[in-house]
Copies of this chain bind each other. A is one copy, B any other.
């Protein structure tokens, strides 16, 4: 083109609409390095306060903070206020030395501030326990002050985070008071992180623990990790994979773990490690790991002693034993209680605990995997030490998109039970899908167990209110990795967030949690709030629909668990899809009633009675417990075959709606995060279609019936779907 020819339309050319995807990247992602919103800040971005009334209020409080405590936790509170003040207001908070004149905000423990508190307030605060906080206004000598008070420094920390949240979400009301305390004692992340930095079922890069450079090098990320957890009240973390490596218990690695424990302590976070049951043989030079062997007992005592010499407040051991090939007490003819109690005795003098996983199933036992935990643990009820807690997955199989609650909840009376949720989305879209998990957890927590009391529900077992247990635990398998935004998918952050909130209070509503998270993550824009909330709240049911509707389960890809593979067969039976869906020419589903495995018999009578009837059981659990004919009539009047098709199709449609909802927010969300989510939602739609097409085409080979006419007809070649193979999918043992 000629020199002159360009002149007229130069501007047009520069700003001409993008023609293809490629151009989109250049315009949305290009300046990422300059002013990026890459998600690293999580929900702690502390944006500038826009509301001028709120700003004045907050500025006043930040301009005179009376806070004299010097404990490490109090230092980190100061630092957090410094970060928040600078980001929200553009200035440092002013910490004053004088209590009255220039002071607007008081921070301190109940004891530190006793002189200004009335007896009634003091008592109210005292009842909140070691981690609770109270915040509200206090009148003293004719003036009004705002105060955030805990019984311990960590209570102040939690109160300050809650207060900062109220500012970020523009709900701060200086006139009203608030007090809160966690309902669960141990609110814990379980990292399935290996010592070589791979992460089992990790979809957000690799382990943030850089063991090789520890103890000499401290990644600043460790501190931001602690801040994020503390902001939610998470107070415990197990650093290493439950498929454990004994080397974590060697002196070299203890020194490394000590550095992390030292960093986390001011944030109220205790460190746990996973103990490989065979460690006495692997690093102790013994010939046995028999828990009753005196040398083995001595080994663990000595190890524990050494551990506490490095980490005086070490939390204890998390143990996966006699499950999926992990060593355990059964090798020596001992039971779980004998194994767990031996470790518990070593830890007891230091106040440590044993977290023993109930996810046990054995290759040798020819029994529905669903039943094995109850078969092994019910007979041991009352046999575990007080400092042992049994960590039970939410369901009896393995973190499926929908599982009925685990029948161990309510089945034992004198055993501490903790909850294990999976935050990392092993079976829920891994890191390419937006699936907000809080509604799923809420569903479990609110499930009625009818035991120990007729009104009992899972949450009441977990928090001790129904079960009476004092040691309480909610654990979440971490979705955190080295990805810049921590969780791979930006919305994975919402799951970390929601887990923390529900662990603090298992009765919280997942919609309210979503709302909080959205405001803290994207700000106050009402359209962003409403649309994003809708996307989040429909996302889990969408995933159930396009993956595992009507109680189907465990039909994903072998080993990596990525994508659909209902055709998986061969090898260990209860690792195949065929074992779980049992489709044949007559019908589909796993009969777990009395005519089948009778796993249903492990639940309370109130449940097993109703659920045994395919016409009474909630349809969401139908094929989990029943093998039914393809023409079984659903409540809708459709046949089972039609219903399956409709659910899969609905899942795809919802995924598409989620994508178009999000895309309608373009321009209202910063381009980096907008593009990140938009690209991933496009992948999610493809994956939803893949699930629907592959599963329906496969099940049709049994049902031999046409697809319902009202659904988009599944396309693709079943043989092609079967041929797909993902040796480099994330979260599995890496290969060259």
Q: Which residue of B lies closest to A24 (CB)?
A: B218
Q: Which A residues from 44 to 79 make CB contacts under 8 A with B?
A: 44, 68, 70, 75-76, 78-79
Q: Which A residues from 677 to 728 make CB contacts under 8 A with B?
A: 679-680, 682-683, 686, 726-728
* A682 → B minimal CB distance (Å): 6
CB atoms of B259 and A34 under 8 A apart: no
CB atoms of B10 and A196 under 8 A apart: no
Q: Which residue of B lies closest to A679 (CB)?
A: B217
Task: Kindly state the separation between the CA atoms of A115 and B7 in the bound complex, as whole angstroms.
Answer: 14
Q: Which residue of B lies closest to A38 (CB)?
A: B220
A218: chain B residues at CB < 8 Å are: 21, 25, 29, 679
9 A-B pairs closest in CB distance: A6-B68, A196-B734, A216-B683, A32-B220, A29-B220, A195-B728, A10-B97, A196-B728, A30-B79
* A583 → B minimal CB distance (Å): 29
Q: Mark A25-42, 1 if CB is under 8 A from B, else 0.
A: 110011111111010110
Q: Which residue of B lies closest to A224 (CB)?
A: B33
Interface size bracket, A side: 35 or more
Indicate if A589 sits at the interface (CB-CB under 8 A): no
A432: chain B residues at CB < 8 Å are: 213, 216-217
Indicate if A582 sits at the interface (CB-CB under 8 A): no
CB atoms of B95 and A14 under 8 A apart: yes
Indicate if A215 sits at the interface (CB-CB under 8 A): yes
CB atoms of B206 and A97 under 8 A apart: no
Task: Kindly state the separation between the CA atoms of A243 and B735 in the bound complex, as whole angstroms.
Answer: 12
A34: chain B residues at CB < 8 Å are: 83, 86-87
Most buried by B among A97, A114, A259: A97
Q: Which residue of B lies closest to A672 (CB)?
A: B220
Besides A6-B68, A30-B83, A194-B734, 9 new A-B residue pairs in contact (Cβ under 8 A), listed by A number: A10-B68, A10-B95, A11-B95, A32-B224, A34-B87, A194-B735, A198-B736, A217-B683, A243-B736
Q: Mark A212-240, 1 if CB is under 8 A from B, else 0.
A: 11011110100110010000000000000
Q: Which residue of B lies closest to A69 (CB)?
A: B6
CB atoms of A211 and B728 under 8 A apart: yes
Which of the residues B21, B25, B95, B216 comes within 8 Å of A686, measured between beta carbons? B216
CB atoms of A682 and B216 under 8 A apart: yes
A41: chain B residues at CB < 8 Å are: 33
* A30 → B minimal CB distance (Å): 5
Task: Kindly state the separation between the CA atoms of A30 and B75 in the bound complex, as whole angstroms.
Answer: 11
CB atoms of B7 and A68 under 8 A apart: yes
Indicate if A573 sits at the interface (CB-CB under 8 A): no
Most buried by B among A15, A197, A224, A736: A736
Given contacts A13-B70, A196-B728, A680-B217, contact A3 B255 (CB under 8 A): no
Indicate if A179 sits at the interface (CB-CB under 8 A): no
Task: Kindly state the separation between the CA atoms of A205 and B216 in the bound complex, as whole angstroms.
Answer: 17
Given contacts A112-B3, A206-B206, contact A78 B255 (CB under 8 A): no
A10: chain B residues at CB < 8 Å are: 68, 95, 97
Indicate if A247 sits at the interface (CB-CB under 8 A): yes
A44: chain B residues at CB < 8 Å are: 33
Indicate if A178 sits at the interface (CB-CB under 8 A): no
A227: chain B residues at CB < 8 Å are: 33
**Copies of this chain, how many?**
2
Given contacts A7-B98, A216-B686, contact A205 B32 (CB under 8 A): no
Q: Which A residues from 158 to 204 make CB contacts under 8 A with B?
A: 194-198
CB atoms of B40 and A247 under 8 A apart: no
Task: Determine chain A's interface SS by DSSP, over half rule.
Answer: loop
CB atoms of A76 and B216 under 8 A apart: no
CB atoms of B215 and A82 under 8 A apart: no
A241: chain B residues at CB < 8 Å are: 736
Task: Kindly state the separation between the CA atoms of A729 and B216 in the bound complex, as whole angstroms.
Answer: 14
CB atoms of B79 and A212 under 8 A apart: no
A97: chain B residues at CB < 8 Å are: 7-8, 10-11
* A257 → B minimal CB distance (Å): 13
Would you give 18 A-B contacts (Cβ < 8 Å), ordered by A?
A8-B97, A14-B95, A21-B218, A25-B223, A26-B76, A30-B223, A31-B79, A31-B82, A31-B83, A34-B86, A38-B220, A194-B734, A196-B728, A197-B730, A212-B728, A216-B686, A217-B432, A247-B727
CB atoms of A18 and B68 under 8 A apart: no
A259: chain B residues at CB < 8 Å are: 18
Task: Kindly state the separation between the CA atoms of A14 and B197 in the bound complex, as whole angstroms.
Answer: 23
Indicate if A733 sits at the interface (CB-CB under 8 A): yes
Given contacts A40-B33, A680-B217, contact A14 B194 (CB under 8 A): no
Task: Kindly state the separation between the CA atoms of A18 and B259 in the bound complex, as whole angstroms.
Answer: 9
CB atoms of A7 and B251 under 8 A apart: yes
Task: Kindly state the separation between the CA atoms of A499 and B555 in the bound complex, as whole angstroms.
Answer: 50
Task: Kindly state the separation between the CA atoms of A86 and B734 in the bound complex, as whole angstroms.
Answer: 42
Indicate if A484 sits at the interface (CB-CB under 8 A): yes
Given contacts A30-B79, A195-B728, A736-B194, contact A205 B482 (CB under 8 A): yes
Task: Kindly state the separation between the CA atoms of A358 and B205 in the bound complex, as whole angstroms.
Answer: 34
Task: Kindly state the separation between the CA atoms of A216 and B22 in the bound complex, as whole angstroms.
Answer: 11
Indicate if A334 sits at the interface (CB-CB under 8 A): no
A68: chain B residues at CB < 8 Å are: 6-7, 10, 13
A213: chain B residues at CB < 8 Å are: 431-432, 683
A29: chain B residues at CB < 8 Å are: 218, 220, 223
Q: Mark A231-267, 1 if CB is under 8 A from B, else 0.
A: 0000000000101010100010001000100110000
Which of the residues B206, B484, B735 comes within 8 Å of A484, measured between beta carbons? B484
Indicate if A363 sits at the interface (CB-CB under 8 A): no
Indicate if A99 sits at the interface (CB-CB under 8 A): yes
* A137 → B minimal CB distance (Å): 20
A3: chain B residues at CB < 8 Å are: 112, 114-115
Q: Which residue of B lies closest to A432 (CB)?
A: B213
Task: Kindly state the separation between the CA atoms of A86 and B35 in the bound complex, as whole angstroms.
Answer: 10
Task: Kindly state the separation between the CA atoms of A30 and B80 in the bound complex, as whole angstroms.
Answer: 9
* A698 → B minimal CB distance (Å): 21
Task: Kindly state the separation between the CA atoms of A35 and B18 in the bound complex, as whole angstroms.
Answer: 33
Q: Which A residues from 463 to 497 make CB contacts under 8 A with B?
A: 482, 484
CB atoms of A212 and B730 under 8 A apart: yes
Task: Kindly state the separation between the CA atoms of A68 and B216 in the bound complex, as whole angstroms.
Answer: 53
Most buried by B among A8, A18, A38, A194: A18
* A724 → B minimal CB distance (Å): 9
Task: Kindly state the separation between the CA atoms of A329 and B150 in the bound complex, as whole angstroms.
Answer: 74
Q: Mark A277-306, 1 if CB is under 8 A from B, else 0.
A: 000000000000000000000000000000
